[in-house]
Structure 1
Amino acid sequence: MANSGDGGIFDLGELRNLIDELGNVPGEEREHMLAELSGGDAGDDRPGSPADVLSFPPVELADPSRLAAAVPDVPLVRDAVRLASWAGTREVTPEGLLPPRDADRAIAELGIERGRLRLVWIVAVNTGLLRVTRAGTSPGGGLPPEPLDFWDGVVMDVLDRTEEGLTGSAVVDEHLTEMLATIYATTDGITYGALVEGMLQAHEIACQARPGEMRRLREILPGELDAALGLLRYCGLFEQEDDAVRLSPLGVWAVRQDLLREGHDAPLLSEVAEFAELSAVELVEAMLSGRAPSSAPTLWVERRAAEDAARELIKVAASGTAGQRGVIGTVLEEMGPEAEPAVREALAEPAMWRHAAVWLGVRDLDAPALTEEDGTWLAVDTLATLLYIPDVQEAMGEFEALEPGEELLRLIEDVSRSPHPDAVAVLDLLGARHPDPATAKAARKAAMKSRSR
């Protein structure tokens, strides 16, 4: 499956299956099946934009000077500096660690918790606060002149320890990255109870945990999570006020750095604020051209009443191209029932009524029934988004469902009979660009049939 990053591009194999099944199900179920035709399962598989790339709400970072000044006050950093100074020049084990006797002395003299000493030592060594060779330790250079770069290294050291049992909880360590991303996306924080439930659900789904294991985890996870959050506060990543857990300002900065390294869309508020002031058509064009990040529409919608925002977008989509409808469909998919009046008005628009029917149906709202031919029309509209992607060859290569086979050949034949205005253009595109000779030939043949009709 692929997504240009500019709008909705959907799994064509699933489209094919749904179209095949439309004639065999009651009309009341058809709308739910067709929801997937409208982009409910959009993804992104292009190089640099893998299927698990996520888009996060824009954040506003604290002032860099304030962040830099806060780094030395992080308890973990403070202890790493103290441990490096205390260690001075002394022998180490073959693994480069303090011998047990010296470790006991460090715990007693510096007041570092025994379970945290190894993490403090690793941070001190990996960040250059302390040099370790086979001959032993020697002082490092102290805190560097760029505290935020140093802080980034500290957090990477912390997160790298999850495979060794960072928090003491196997479940928290397994899902720590997801937890950080979730809290990053909730600027107001998340309640402790919701965090426990979210982690349980993530574990049950990702690890296919059985009922017996889940019962056991429900009993022990709250205590384990409490201890883990204590460690993460010690590491400078979290703040906790009453029942709300949130990232600290340094935590927001560090998690964003990690998300960017992983290729996720994690913009600053200043980077997307300009897009919130655009008209609907300007926003859509910015998305299609790749100038606007995929998080820009979220802020654009937030600055408007939902119904008004939906109505502006639908007006563009009703008279626009399939590429514009792809972008707009992705934005509408994120909007709730408050947009219903505007979407219902779209039922009167020839180019939008099928999309509107799917949007309504998937939300269990009254909607017109769609036929198999309507499903094919939606499939063509989805394929037609390829016509508006700058690097179409790359995008096509990432469409798993465009792999050659009988399924794709049947879809090509259906496209040739579709009244969609872009049907011939889609077939021409496949005929000219599809890498499989048999598929390309079938598309060219179907295009000729379509023209003759």
Structure 2
Amino acid sequence: MANSGNGGIFDLGELRNLIDELGSVSGEEREALLAEMAGENDECDCGDCEGEVLSFPPVELAPTAELACAVPAVPLVRDARRLTEWTGARQVTDEGFLSPGDAREAAETLGLSDDRLRLVWIVAVNAGLLRITGAGASPGPGLPADLMDFWDGVVMDVLDRTDEGLTGSAVADEHLTEMLATIYATSDGITYTALVEGMLQAHEIGCEARAPEMRRLREELPGELDTALDLLAYCGLFERTADSVRLTPLGVWAVRQDLLREGHDAPLLSEVASYAELSAVELVEAMLSGEAPSSAPTLWVERRVPEEAARELIKVAASGTAGQRGVIGTVLEEMGPEAEPAVREALAEPSMWRHAAVWLGVRDLEAPVLNEDDGTWLAVDTLATLLHIPDAQEAMGEFEALEAGEELLRLVDEISRSGHPDAIAVLELLGAHHPDATVAKAARKAAMKARSR
């Protein structure tokens, strides 16, 4: 489902499947279909997901002064300063590196491998610790006053080296960004075994690796990853225990900077803590307006008993608008079976029982069977969230299932016969804003039919 940032509940294409199929299936087939509707089995192959905005749990950073004091102690930074002192004023190659003889001497003196020496040199030069001119290399002014900006540049230099073989593991280099983001999202760290399995899965899916390659990697990756983690610990990003890996405080700071640079939602705990104290109505309105970051609902739920939180949300949804039901549906999807009693009570609510039935069904809990009319009603309710979004036309473009085609034209016709109170408003919205002239015309015609009824 396209992420509109305003919490729609279902993918309209999957609702189309519901309309066509849900009334005629039962048992395991029905459960599988419901799971697909809820997105539990979705795997995007569109190739555009690299631009998707991701949301990460809020983090609490160490005090800036404490972080700054830790920068000079990072082994990579320490060695960059040692290399600067050793180099002094010295001739360099046309590529701006030490001559082969000097490089061997530096590596022996500083106790560095050739690969690490090159990384240390790059960091020293890019950070201004060493200056390269036509006359050769010479010491720069030393560490700058803004150590956190300096540290940010060091980490960028490190991450930029993945294309040239940073860690010694092609798989680790290929998926380093994913690995950092995954560990960032797990404040308690991740076990070494889980990290290996996650890297294997990411490589198998993301790179479409075949069975022979995966068999080889299962044997080789643990050792490769062990070496890679040592390098990343040397760079100040990771700290390891006997069986787990986590980001250092400097690593958390640096990864968050990189996530923010890429446009992802990576809030501080202090930025979202206030949302945990809101009432359900206030939270929903903050989400609808776009004021609340996407991580706010998770924190709100964590601070409450799940059943009570679900009941509070459902009360708002039962008497609220489709827009409110949309964002509430997003929050409810974060809850597990412990919220079942409250969701089951929602089966008695006219505007919520279909949503509740789907919620129960995807969790393998007993739920009413939905028919084609119910599917159309859900489709209208999902589209009606656009009526409550400030820029509906822009948000409409993010609903991939609204792309022109026979499927959408059929859905438009069925909406005109729906008993949903927002059916005509949805058709008018499509008629006024859908970029495809055929769809817009069909929606206006369907709205006229619906009004005449």
Report how far residue 431 of structure 1 moved.
1.0
Cα distance between partner residues in 1 of 2:281 and 2:51: 27
The alignment's TM-score, normalised by the length of structure 2, stands at 0.95
Cα distance between partner residues in 1 of 2:441 and 2:297: 39
**Residue type of the alignment partner of 1:33:** L
Equivalent runs, 1:276-315 vs 2, <5 Å = 276-315=276-315
* 1:54 alignment partner, SS class: coil
C-alpha change, 1:34 and 1:421, in structure 2 (3 Å) is farther
Cα distance between partner residues in 2 of 1:201 and 1:262: 24
Is 2:347 aligned against 1:347? yes
Equivalent runs, 1:233-382 vs 2, <5 Å = 233-382=233-382
**Residue type of the alignment partner of 2:382:** T
Cα distance between partner residues in 2 of 1:51 and 1:232: 26
Cα distance between partner residues in 1 of 2:377 and 2:39: 14
Report how far residue 132 of structure 1 moved.
1.4
Equivalent residue, structure 2, for 1:12: 12
**Residue type of the alignment partner of 1:106:** A
Equivalent residue, structure 2, for 1:437: 437
Cα distance between partner residues in 1 of 2:35 and 2:352: 14
Report how far residue 105 of structure 1 moved.
1.0
Equivalent residue, structure 1, for 2:424: 424
Identify which range, 31-40 or 109-118, moves more after superposition: 31-40
Query: C-alpha offsets along residues 163-182 of structure 1, whole Å, 9 cap, x if unaligned?
Result: 11100001111111111111
Equivalent runs, 1:186-197 vs 2, <5 Å = 186-197=186-197
C-alpha change, 1:37 and 1:418, in structure 2 (3 Å) is farther
Equivalent residue, structure 2, for 1:408: 408
Equivalent residue, structure 2, for 1:158: 158
Cα distance between partner residues in 2 of 1:359 and 1:404: 29
Cα distance between partner residues in 2 of 1:196 and 1:39: 26
Equivalent residue, structure 1, for 2:56: 56
Equivalent residue, structure 1, for 2:229: 229
Identity of aligned residues (%): 79
**Residue type of the alignment partner of 1:313:** L
Contact 1:8 1:39 in 2 (8 A): no
Cα distance between partner residues in 1 of 2:39 and 2:389: 17
**Residue type of the alignment partner of 1:56:** F
* 1:246 alignment partner, SS class: strand
Equivalent residue, structure 1, for 2:69: 69
Report how far residue 13 of structure 1 moved.
3.0
Cα distance between partner residues in 1 of 2:9 and 2:350: 21
Query: C-alpha offsets along residues 73-107 of structure 1, whole Å, 9 cap, x if unaligned?
Result: 00000111111222222111121111110101111
C-alpha change, 1:328 and 1:39, in structure 2 (3 Å) is farther
Contact 2:9 2:329 in 1 (8 A): no
* 2:137 alignment partner, SS class: strand
* 2:217 alignment partner, SS class: helix
Equivalent residue, structure 2, for 1:175: 175
Report how far residue 31 of structure 1 moved.
4.7
* 2:145 alignment partner, SS class: coil
Report how far residue 435 of structure 1 moved.
2.0
Cα distance between partner residues in 2 of 1:231 and 1:263: 27
The alignment's TM-score, normalised by the length of structure 1, stands at 0.95
TM superposition outliers: structure 1 runs of 4+ over 6 Å: 41-44
Query: C-alpha offsets along residues 347-370 of structure 1, whole Å, 9 cap, x if unaligned?
Result: 111111111111111111111111
Report how far residue 28 of structure 1 moved.
5.4
Cα distance between partner residues in 2 of 1:36 and 1:252: 34
Cα distance between partner residues in 2 of 1:2 and 1:13: 11
**Residue type of the alignment partner of 1:86:** W
Is 2:210 aligned against 1:210? yes
Cα distance between partner residues in 2 of 1:32 and 1:53: 28
C-alpha change, 1:245 and 1:52, in structure 2 (3 Å) is same
Cα distance between partner residues in 2 of 1:104 and 1:166: 20
C-alpha change, 1:370 and 1:10, in structure 2 (3 Å) is closer
Cα distance between partner residues in 1 of 2:40 and 2:446: 29
Contact 1:313 1:328 in 2 (8 A): yes
* 1:312 alignment partner, SS class: helix
**Residue type of the alignment partner of 1:253:** W
Contact 2:38 2:362 in 1 (8 A): no
C-alpha change, 1:217 and 1:28, in structure 2 (3 Å) is closer
Contact 1:301 1:309 in 2 (8 A): yes
Contact 2:90 2:137 in 1 (8 A): yes
Identify which range, 18-27 or 249-258, moves more after superposition: 18-27
Is 2:151 aligned against 1:145? no
Identify which range, 402-411 or 15-24, moves more after superposition: 15-24
Report how far residue 418 of structure 1 moved.
0.6
Report how far residue 241 of structure 1 moved.
2.1
Structure 1: give runs of 5+ residues left out of the alignment: none
Identify which range, 57-66 or 386-395, moves more after superposition: 386-395
Identify which range, 349-358 or 26-35, moves more after superposition: 26-35
Contact 2:4 2:399 in 1 (8 A): no
Cα distance between partner residues in 2 of 1:37 and 1:378: 11
Report how far residue 43 of structure 1 moved.
11
* 1:53 alignment partner, SS class: coil
C-alpha change, 1:91 and 1:168, in structure 2 (3 Å) is same
Cα distance between partner residues in 1 of 2:10 and 2:374: 16
Equivalent residue, structure 2, for 1:89: 89
Query: C-alpha offsets along residues 224-271 of structure 1, whole Å, 9 cap, x if unaligned?
Result: 111111111100001112212110000000000001111111100000
Contact 1:280 1:316 in 2 (8 A): yes
**Residue type of the alignment partner of 1:221:** L
Number of equivalent positions: 449
